[in-house]
Amino acid sequence: MKYVDEYRSPESIGRLLALIGRRSRNPVRLMEFCGGHTHAIFRFGLRQLLPPTVSLLAGPGCPVCVTSQPDLDRAIALSRVRGITLTTFGDMLRVPGSTGTLQEARAEGADVRVVYSTLDALSIARDNADREIVFLAVGFETTAPSVAAAVLTAEDEGLKNFSILSLHKLTPPAMRAILDAGEVALSGILGPGHVTTIVGSDAWDFLSREYGMPCAVAGFEPLDILMGVYALVDGIESGSSEVVNAYRRNVRREGNLQARQAIDRVFCVRATEWRGLGTLPASGLFLRDAFCGFDAASRFPVRVEPAEEPKGCLCGDVLRGRAQPPDCPLFGRTCSPQHPIGPCMVSGEGACAAHIRYREG
Partner 1 sequence: MFSDTILLAHGSGGRMTHDLIGEVFHRHLGNSLLAAQDDAAVWVLSSPGPERIALTTDSYVVSPIFFPGGDIGRLAVCGTVNDLAMVGATPLYLTAGFILEEGLPRADLERVVASMAAAGRQAGVKIVAGDTKVVERGGADLMFITTAGVGEVPKGVCISGANVQPGDVAILSGPVGVHGLAVMSRREGLEFSFPLQSDCAPLNGLVSEMLKAGGPIHCLRDPTRGGLATTLNEIAGQSRVEIEIDEVCIPVSEEVRAACEMLGLDPLYVANEGKLVAFVAPDAERPVLEAMRRQRYGQQAAVIGRVTCAHPGRVVMKTLFGAHRILDMLTGEQLPRIC
358 binds partner 1 (CB under 8 A): yes
Stretch that binds partner 1, among 78-86, 274-282, 319-327, 335-343 (CB under 8 A): 335-343
Residues that bind partner 1 (rule: CB under 8 A) add up to a total of 43
Q: Which is nearer to partner 1, 7 or 236 (CB)?
A: 7
Helix (H, G, I), strand (E, B) or coil at 220: coil
10 binds partner 1 (CB under 8 A): yes
Give 330-338's long-range contacts (Cβ < 8 A, gap of 24+): 331/355, 331/356, 332/356
Alpha-carbon distance of 46 to 270, in angstroms, equals 37
- The only residue of 42, 267, 274, 331 in contact with partner 1, by rule CB under 8 A: 42
73 binds partner 1 (CB under 8 A): no
- Per CB under 8 A, contacts with partner 1 among 301-320 are none
Q: Which is nearer to partner 1, 320 or 355 (CB)?
A: 355
Burial class (CB in 10 A: 0-12, 13-18, 19+), 9: middle
Q: Which is nearer to partner 1, 146 or 153 (CB)?
A: 146
Alpha-carbon distance of 350 to 325, in angstroms, equals 10
Burial class (CB in 10 A: 0-12, 13-18, 19+), 131: middle
From residue 133 to residue 162, the character string flagging contacts with partner 1 as x (rule: CB under 8 A) and all else as - is -----xxx-xx-------------------
- Closest Cα partner for 314 from 294, 335, 297? 335
Q: Which is nearer to partner 1, 61 or 235 (CB)?
A: 61
- Per CB under 8 A, contacts with partner 1 among 176-205 are 194-195
Kindly state the smallest distance separating residue 185's Cβ from partner 1, in Å: 26
- From start to end of 72-146, where are the E strands? 84-88, 111-114, 132-137
359 binds partner 1 (CB under 8 A): yes
- Closest Cα partner for 181 from 319, 310, 300, 27? 319
Helix (H, G, I), strand (E, B) or coil at 287: strand
Stretch that binds partner 1, among 18-26, 51-59, 287-295, 353-361 (CB under 8 A): 353-361
Alpha-carbon distance of 213 to 179, in angstroms, equals 9
Kindly state the smallest distance separating residue 331's Cβ from partner 1, in Å: 15
- The only residue of 7, 33, 89, 294 in contact with partner 1, by rule CB under 8 A: 89
Q: Which is nearer to partner 1, 72 or 236 (CB)?
A: 72
> Which CA distances in Å does 68 have to 178, 327, 342?
17, 21, 11
- The only residue of 60, 63, 325, 342 in contact with partner 1, by rule CB under 8 A: 63
Q: How far is CA 256 from the centre of its chain?
A: 18
Residues of the shown chain interacting with partner 1 in the complex, contacts defined by CB under 8 A: 1, 4, 8, 10, 13-14, 35-36, 42-49, 63-64, 89-91, 94, 114, 116, 138-140, 142-143, 194-195, 222, 336-338, 348-349, 356-361
